[in-house]
């Protein structure tokens, strides 16, 4: 049975020019934040995007949201191409939960106005109609109705993030983008917000893209996972497949860094040599070749494409080229 594709990203690139000179502002280079990324999102799934800081995952999310204009490539949402000039009827179907639950809320607005703002922008509902939408949503995200007249500074970080989630869901979007929504929270609060996302996913039949640098968080929330490094996709696979049969050396290094709660058990760490290359001067071949213990000569001169290795499992690694498969 064919799955319903809600979002398609093809050959997406985002290059930021580096300029010098006070007057002429001559372009002397480009920071390749996202470099030729392609994937699809299916209706009803949660797609996790994992990678180190600076790998391009947030820039990717901002382009999908229409907050950044792509340098090249196409983004198709519900069969329509989108960019920074997205029409209002399409824009309201994509909403975002931001990383910082305080700076994403207007300190001059009370909570009722913050959450209802999307309804004022995109609809002409009466005050009573807005209330009928607002009250059930407040209950689902765990916000007390009596708190609606308060302001963001009167809430904790976890409560602010619940407010941000309520604002994102008030329009009943088709796609919810979550840009590291728990990274600024305490660990105990992170668990509460992650469980809230799981509950809301079932209640509202959400389709989500969940960005994080924490593999444990991605494992808890995702159905499929994309591993990014230096603006490129290294591996795509369903969650169980990725954790049971990790293929790319970079993905394996990330897996080895996950803490183990049992003090009697020890996980074999895979140390990475060297430093992350600059996106201003990325290596010509595989972006991970300079830190990979299994890199071959071809890895340093030819960029590997995503190769299909098993059901829904793709990896960008020359070790899995046709006739060159080997167990990592």
Q: In the chain, what is the straight-line distance between the N-terminal and C-terminal CA atoms, in Å?
A: 33
CB-based contacts of 12-16 (< 8 A; 24+ apart in sequence)? 12/36, 12/37, 12/38, 12/60, 12/63, 12/70, 12/72, 12/73, 12/74, 12/75, 13/37, 13/70, 13/71, 13/72, 13/73, 14/56, 14/59, 14/60, 14/63, 14/68, 14/70, 14/71, 15/71
DSSP state of 299: G
Say how far apart CA 278 and CA 34 lie, in whole Å.
13
Domain ranges in the chain?
Answer: 5-93+175-320, 103-172
Say how far apart CA 212 and CA 192 lie, in whole Å.
16
**Count of C-beta atoms within a 10 Å radius of residue 62:** 19
- Give the CA-trace dihedral at 60, 66, 71, 77, to 10 degrees: 80
Helices H, strands E: what count in the chain?
9, 12
The pLDDT > 70 percentage for the chain reads 97
Q: Residue 190: what pLDDT?
A: 92
Q: What mean pLDDT is predicted for residues 116-143?
A: 94
Q: Where are the alpha helices (H) located in 156-238, listed in sequence order? A: 157-169, 187-204, 215-221
Q: Which of 12-26, 153-167, 258-272, 288-302 has the highest mean pLDDT?
A: 153-167
pLDDT range class, residue 313, cuts 50, 70, 90: very high
Say how far apart CA 55 and CA 25 lie, in whole Å.
27
Q: What mean pLDDT is predicted for residues 252-279?
A: 80
Q: What mean pLDDT is predicted for residues 270-282?
A: 81
- pTM flag (> 0.85): yes
Element (H, E) at 253: helix 249-256
Please list, in sequence order, all residues whose beta carbon lies within 8 angstroms of the beta carbon of residue 20, skipping any fewer than 6 positions away.
26, 28
Mean pLDDT of the chain: 89
Residue pair 82/7 in contact (Cβ under 8 Å)? The answer is no
**β-pairing, 94-97 with 175-179?**
parallel
- Mean pLDDT is lowest, of 100-114, 191-205, 218-232, 254-268, for 254-268
Q: Residue 60: what pLDDT?
A: 95
pLDDT range class, residue 325, cuts 50, 70, 90: very low
Q: Residue 322: what pLDDT?
A: 54
pLDDT range class, residue 20, cuts 50, 70, 90: confident
Output the CA torsion sign for 27, 63, 304, 277: positive
- Angle at which helices 127-141 and 157-169 pack, to 10 degrees? 130
Please list, in sequence order, all residues whose beta carbon lies within 8 angstroms of the beta carbon of residue 266, skipping any fewer than 6 positions away.
260
Q: Residue 119: what pLDDT?
A: 94
Q: Residue 2: what pLDDT?
A: 53
As a CATH number, domain 5-93+175-320 is 3.40.50.300
Q: Residue 220: what pLDDT?
A: 92
């Amino acid at each position: 049975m064919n799955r319903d594709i809600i979002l398609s990203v093809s050959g997406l690139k985002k290059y930021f020019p580096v300029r010098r000179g006070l007057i002429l502002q001559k372009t002397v280079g480009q920071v390749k934040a996202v470099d030729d990324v392609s994937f699809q999102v299916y209706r009803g799934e949660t797609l996790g995007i994992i990678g180190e800081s600076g790998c391009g995952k947030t820039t990717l999310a901002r382009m999908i949201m229409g907050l950044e204009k792509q340098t090249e490539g196409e983004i198709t949402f519900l069969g329509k191409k989108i960019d920074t000039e997205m029409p209002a009827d399409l824009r309201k179907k994509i909403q975002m939960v931001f990383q910082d639950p305080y700076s994403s809320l207007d300190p001059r607005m009370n909570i009722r106005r913050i959450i209802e703002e999307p309804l004022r922008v995109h609809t002409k509902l009466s005050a009573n109609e807005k209330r009928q939408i607002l009250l059930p949503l407040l209950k689902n995200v765990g916000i007390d109705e009596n708190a609606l007249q308060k302001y963001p500074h009167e809430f904790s970080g976890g409560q602010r993030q619940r407010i941000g989630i309520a604002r994102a869901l008030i329009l009943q979007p088709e796609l919810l983008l979550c840009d590291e929504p728990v990274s600024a929270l305490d660990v105990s609060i992170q668990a509460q917000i992650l469980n809230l996302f799981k509950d809301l996913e079932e209640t509202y039949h959400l389709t989500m893209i969940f960005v994080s640098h924490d593999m444990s968080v991605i494992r808890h929330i995702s159905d499929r996972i994309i591993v990014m490094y230096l603006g490129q996709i290294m591996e795509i696979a369903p969650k169980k497949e990725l954790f049971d049969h990790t293929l790319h050396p970079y993905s394996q290094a990330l897996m080895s860094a996950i803490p183990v709660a049992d003090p009697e058990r020890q996980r074999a760490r895979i140390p990475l040599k060297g430093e992350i290359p600059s996106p201003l001067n990325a290596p010509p071949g595989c972006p991970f070749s300079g830190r990979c213990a299994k890199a071959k000569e071809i890895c340093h001169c030819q960029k590997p494409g995503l190769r299909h290795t098993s059901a829904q499992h793709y990896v960008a690694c020359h070790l899995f080229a046709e006739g060159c498969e080997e167990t990592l």
